[in-house]
Structure 1
Amino acid sequence: MNMYVNPQCQSPEVLSFHKHVLDTDDEHTAHSLIVSMDSKQESHCPDDPLLGIPRCSHSPGKDEADECVVPEIGKEFESEDHAYRCYNRHAALEGFSIRKDFVNKSRINGVVVSRRYTCYKQGCRPTKRDLNAKKPQKETRTGCLAHMTIARQPNGKYRVTHYETKHNHELATPYTAHMLPSQRRITFAQAVEAELANNSLIEGVPKLGMGFDSEDHAYEFYNSYAGQVGFSVRKDYVNRSKVDGAVASRRFTCFREGFRQKDKRDSNLKRPRKETRIGCLAQLIIARQPDGKYRITHFEENHNHELVPPYRIRMLRSQKRLAAGQSVGTTKDGFVLQAMSASGMAFKPVRDGENLVCHHRDSKKSLPAKRIRGMEQGESESILQYFQNKELKDPSFIYAIQLDAEGQMTNFFWADAKMLVDYGDFGDVVCFDTTYRLSKDCRPFAPFIGVNHHKQMVIFGAALLYDETFESFKWLFQTFLEAMSRKKPKTILTDHDPAMAEAIDSVFPETHHRLCAWHVYQNALKHLSQVILQLDSFANDLSCCIFSHDEEQEFIDAWKAMLEVYDLWENEWLDGIFRERERWAMPYGRHAFYADIKSAQLSESLNTNLKKYLKSDLDVLQFFKHFGRVVNDWRYKELEASYDMSQHMPRLLGDVILLRRARDVYTPKIFELFQQEYEDCLNIVVNRCTENLPFLEYKVSIYGQVREYTVIFNLDENSVGCSCMKFQFVGVLCSHALKVLDYRNIKVLPGEYILKRWTKDARL
């Protein structure tokens, strides 16, 4: 078997591992390569944390200026521009902008002999020109001395001759670094990803009896802990000794502790201050000991409010002055106190890498024939090296490669730690799409997609498939299943493909398999292109017929009306897809949970972002980079939605107990859906009730309409179910069921009808 592995990019342990794989006689290993490296291996390939794309300094064709280099005296660069870009990238990570300062050029040939790059707050701005200015510029320079000086060497390279790291001002946070003048090429989502990439578990949790050298050390310790958790700290009461005035005890509280006293002036204020205190009881109390030290005598951990997400912590009052990594003291127990940066992940990190390794022992999982599609020269090696670099940076990153009968790399699957966590939270419904190709010659990209609690797109994993046969799909689904700790989705939505359907039945026999209605619509546009060109309104009518009818009879009537209007009764393709309507049409399969995925939103959004990067004439690494940016954008949107959720409450239709309870638990997007159902229930009437104890059967209908819905209420369990099955399909109670609950004087939404995946606590 021939496989390319660049030895310059490997540690000795990795080389040893690959040598074992390449020399093995095991038939399965020769056909299905699944790579996992020890998390203790040391990376030899610098990564690009801002883009989330690893870079290998030894890879051919790499732009060295994109390396993430920590400047130091003696470090050499290929050119002046190379030095500038490396220093600028380092500045982005640290949180400052840089400026090109003095330059010394040779009088003979004009070549730069030496150059200094400084912090953008270096020096002071002249004041003469500001005297007549109507809107004088803000003073941004503070006389900062941080800089890097380079000098040209006889070999033509530039060496760092002086390097000053200390700044006299506060540094920008990773999520605002993109706004600095020299960093504006970094997107906001990439900056957030850089913040997420620097995650760490919460360290230094306060414990009773923990000792400190002084009151200030105790405060810094608690404030550091607060910075990791997501709240600000306030100094509350202090009890001083009557003898020497020393602090005998002190309480530090959450910034939302207590309640603000009513200000008599509030009635006359046009813009009263926002209420920030809500009676939070989280606190830490210390008391002075006979030896002069301070120990924790009381610690309350729980808060009664939403905590601030990691990328917003630096905005809290007590966190603004903390610099990342600044040592502030040591406890008596030897605990090193640090002012931690707000870099906690928005999800629980996956640390046990061995649980993520896929092990296949069945040789039947290999591809018995040669792959269907060819690759560009060097494409497989680039993909492999990209995966290896990613895993060296993140031990939780996993990837799998399937080989064909000739030992050539054929199919690829990968997922990072965030994708695994997302699947754990929202993997009940998965959309698997292999249609991201503009033509047969485009790169065969196949993502696993879902929706989060804000009804936003999340990705669980991705694949490049150069062979779309039953064996390939079966290998991919088995690999995906093992990567996700063998947790199977409840529902999987796919395109119409017999080989794919057979593989799903083999790997996910208990999963409800449905055809994606959006794919049906796209296929219809292709097969009926002549009709669309001749009749402008046909596409809209077809879309309405597919997506707008939730009742079976309404759908059938609309379909027949469409055939009649456009005289398409003899169209074989429409006739065939209609016969399979129970596999894709909205009125069918409502007993399975779909997370309300029934339109083109998911696939169309991703297709728009990626289609130009799927063309085969583009380098595969460019595709990976753009895909990483797209995923970062989605992740930032979730962070933004979660933060907005903690700051704003949706408006209520009225002071209704049921709605107040729902607003407290649901995310705003889901609450809007629920509140609409409640509003609709106000127009529903109960026509009659039939008793068959312990069941009560209610017939309800919308006022003025003939159609009736059957709602069953269980007296023993206080449970309710409707014939429209919206709760089973979407996960939110329908207006018919809400009407019956109100009819039964149930004013609080029962807990069994609140799906955690739609709540604010879905990530907990």
Structure 2
Amino acid sequence: MIVTDQDRGMRAAIRDVLVDTKHRWCMWHIMLKLTDKIPRRCLENEELKKEISACVWSEVLEPEEFEDSWMGIMERYELLHVEWFVTMFDDREMWVPAYFRDFPMGSLIRTTSVSESENSFYKTFTRPRSNLVEFIMNFDHALAAQRNSSSKLDYMDSTIIPPFSSQLVLEKHAATKYTDHMFKRVQREIVDALHHCSTDGLLKDDVLEISTIKDKYSKSWVVTYTTSEDSYSCSCKLFGRERILCSHIFLVFKNRFLKVIPDKYFHVSYMKKFDADSAIIDLFSAGIDELGKSLMTRIHEPSSGDKDKPVKDFYFAEKPAVVRVQPPSVVSTKGSKSDSKSRLVSAKEKAIKLNSKPLRQCKKCGEFGHHDSRNCGRQKGK
């Protein structure tokens, strides 16, 4: 799924190019315009704003229920002919959560805040005028910071036991599987199941077990247990939206005396690191084994023709039978690398070499220098 603002060009492009992608408009941008679009006579009506927000942001409404609720608000406040509300209702499938209930994670990704928060995070590490090398180094630093935070959370998940709200074995099992953040979310559903939900009816046959669950708002939900598949589903569709079990299913778990949550209801993104890694490692190992068997059946000693093939493919030419290009003859080098003793020495080199020699006393003049009695006058003058 991709979330954007109400750009018609992007809508057309996404529809034509990203054909398998669910496109959604940012709800925050739409609701931000609400006070600018309602008539002036309704600006001070807080009840209108509350009713529209409750209708629009609700995750539990079916599309038909949303439409009835929306039309009821439009009639009560005489907004049926306001252009903006008419347009938003016509495009309701692009932004209202009721039309994303069957899409995985649809209720979590409603706005562009996810990408905006990532942009804000990376801006703390990068600069607008960085060159490519600086950008890559800063990007690596940003990833290192994220990995460091993730490692800290993984360590906390493996060492800290969260406080429990009940004596239910299911809650303790959830604490061993979910990360700390997700366990708190699931824990709220378990508490609601124990204290705020009740069984209002039960129907059984050889294939299905249908339970009617009433929540704290006196609204009824239907939980269906399929015996042949050992699977549970609820009409609230929370698991389909957020990949966590709802309080209604947890109540059925409790009534059926389940002690552990079935593995099929754990999403890998919400599991503790070692639990998620073990599942991934098992799949990786199986894949490596299959790859090894496949390679062993096809491996062979490459022939001389096979060895020359990459060269032919690269140069688009056959390898010559006789190589006529020979290495050049070695010539003596010049300059400081030469071994010849005939090289001319400059006056500067002579002076440096002379100054490096120790001083000695001349027996003719008695002075210390680089001359002796044989060339005392000539060298002394120089």
Question: What is the TM-score with the length of structure 2 in the denominator?
Answer: 0.57
One-letter identity of the residue aligned with 1:583: M
Partner of 1:654: 166
8 A contact 1:549–1:555 mirrored in 2: no
Contact 1:514 1:584 (C-alpha < 8 Å) held by counterparts? yes
Query: 1:712 is matched with which residue: 214, 224, 235?
Result: 224
Q: Is the 8 A contact 1:701 1:708 kept in 2?
A: yes
Match of 1:694 among 189, 199, 207: 207
Instruction: Report the counterpart of residue 551 of structure 1 in structure 2.
Output: 61
Q: Secondary structure at the match of 1:500?
A: helix
Aligned match of 1:361: none
Q: Which has the higher helix share?
A: 2
Native 8 Å contact 2:207 2:226 kept in 1: yes
Tell me the SS of whatever aligns to 1:621. coil
Cα deviation for residue 649 of structure 1 reads: 2.4
Using the TM superposition, give the Cα deviation of residue 732 of structure 1 relative to its aligned residue in structure 2, in angstroms. Answer: 0.4
- Deviation track 1:522-577 (CA, whole Å, cap 9, x = no partner) reads 4x359639969954957776555433453237645664576567654432122211
Is residue 743 of structure 1 aligned with residue 252 of structure 2?
Answer: no
Q: Structure 1 stretches of 5 or more lacking a match?
A: 1-490
The answer as to whether partners of 1:595 and 1:731 remain within 8 angstroms in 2 is no
Give the drift of 1:646.
2.8
Deviation of 1:731 (Å): 0.2
Residue of 83, 86, 108 corresponding to 1:572:
83
Kindly provide the amino acid, as one letter, of the partner of residue 102 in structure 2: H
Q: Does 2:23 correspond to 1:513?
A: yes
Answering whether residue 102 of structure 2 is matched by residue 591 of structure 1, we say yes
Q: Which residue of 1 aligns with 2:267?
A: 755
- Taking the aligned partners of 1:730 and 1:684, their CA distance within structure 2 comes to 20
* Alignment match, 2:312: none
The reply on whether 1:669 has 2:178 as its aligned counterpart is no
Cα distance, 1:603 vs structure 2: 4.9
- 2:97 alignment partner, SS class: coil
- Residue identity matched to 1:750: P
Query: Is the alpha carbon distance of 1:716 and 1:743 closer, same or farther for their aligned partners in structure 2, counting shifts above 3 Å?
Result: same
Alpha-carbon distance between aligned partners in 2 of 1:749 and 1:740, rounded to the nearest angstrom: 12
| Pairwise CA distance, 1:741 | 2.0
**Could you give the per-residue CA deviations for residues 254-309 of structure 1, whole angstroms, max 9, x where no partner exists?**
xxxxxxxxxxxxxxxxxxxxxxxxxxxxxxxxxxxxxxxxxxxxxxxxxxxxxxxx
1:230 maps to which residue?
Answer: none
1:67-105 per-position Cα deviation (integer Å, ceiling 9, x unaligned): xxxxxxxxxxxxxxxxxxxxxxxxxxxxxxxxxxxxxxx
| Alignment-mate amino acid for residue 103 of structure 2 | A
Q: Does the C-alpha gap of structure 1 residues 529 and 712 become closer, same or farther in structure 2, counting only changes over 3 Å? A: closer
Deviations 1:463-507 (A, max 9, x none): xxxxxxxxxxxxxxxxxxxxxxxxxxxx33333334433443444
| 1:518 alignment partner AA | W
User: Are the counterparts in 1 of residues 202 and 209 from structure 2 also a CA contact under 8 Å?
Assistant: yes
Distance in 2 (CA, whole Å) between partners of 1:612 and 1:656 is 44
Alpha carbons of 1:542 and 1:729: their partners in 2 closer, same or farther (altered >3 Å)? same
- Counterpart in the other structure of 1:182: none
Deviations 1:584-639 (A, max 9, x none): 2122221110165245552554576689999xxx9543999699577766555434
For 2:60, give the aligned amino acid. Answer: D
Q: Residue 186 of structure 2 contacts residue 245 of structure 2 at CA under 8 Å; is this kept in 1? A: yes
Structure 1 residue identity aligned to 2:210 = E
Change in 2 beyond 3 A, CA 1:620/1:651: same
Matched, 1:621 2:134: no
Q: Deviations over 1:352-407 (max 9, x none)?
A: xxxxxxxxxxxxxxxxxxxxxxxxxxxxxxxxxxxxxxxxxxxxxxxxxxxxxxxx
* Corresponding residue for residue 128 of structure 1: none
Rounded to whole Å, the distance in 2 between the matches of 1:646 and 1:571 is 56
How far apart in 2 are the matches of 1:620 and 1:729? Answer: 41
Alignment correspondent of 2:11: 501
Match of 1:528 among 8, 31, 37: 37
Change (3 A) 1:551 1:533: closer
Q: Which amino acid aligns with 2:232?
A: V
Asked whether the equivalents of residues 162 and 175 of structure 2 are also in contact (C-alpha less than 8 Å), the reply is: yes
**8 A contact 2:221–2:234 mirrored in 1:** yes
Q: In the superposition, relative to structure 1, how do residues 509 and 752 fare at CA in structure 2: closer, same or farther (>3 Å)?
A: same
In the alignment, residue 732 of structure 1 is paired with which amino acid?
Answer: I
- How far apart in 2 are the matches of 1:557 and 1:587? 12
Q: Distance in 1 between matches of 2:186 and 2:128?
A: 46
Alpha-carbon distance change, 646 to 532 in structure 1, aligned in 2, over 3 angstroms? farther
8 Å CA contact retained: 2:59, 2:107 = no
TM-score, structure 1 as length reference = 0.31
Evaluate the alpha carbon distance shift between residue 759 and residue 697 of structure 1 in structure 2; reply closer, same or farther with a 3 A threshold. same
Q: Percent identity?
A: 26
- Structure 1 residues 211-290: aligned runs within 5 Å: none
Q: Counterparts of 1:667 and 1:658 in 2: how far apart (Å)?
A: 15
Counterpart code for 2:171: L
* Structure 2 contact 97–107 (Cα < 8 Å) conserved: no
For 1:597 and 1:520, locate their aligned partners in 2 and report how far apart those are by CA, in whole Å: 17
Letter of the structure 2 residue corresponding to residue 674 of structure 1 = V
Give the gaps of 5 or more residues in structure 2.
281-382
Show the counterpart of 1:110: none
Q: Is the 8 A contact 2:59 2:101 kept in 1?
A: no
Contact 2:238 2:244 in 1 (8 A): yes
Q: CA RMSD in A?
A: 4.1
2:299 paired residue number = none
User: Matches of residues 38-77 of structure 1 in structure 2 within 5 Å?
Assistant: none
Q: Give, as a single letter, the amino acid of the residue that structure 1 aligns with 2:37.
A: L
Q: CA deviation at 1:676?
A: 0.7
Separation in 2 of the partners of 1:548 and 1:680? 18
Q: Report the secondary structure of 2:192's partner residue.
A: helix
For the residue of structure 2 that corresponds to 1:641, the secondary structure is: helix
Amino acid of the structure 2 residue aligned with 1:575: V
| Displacement after TM superposition at 1:726 (Å) | 0.8
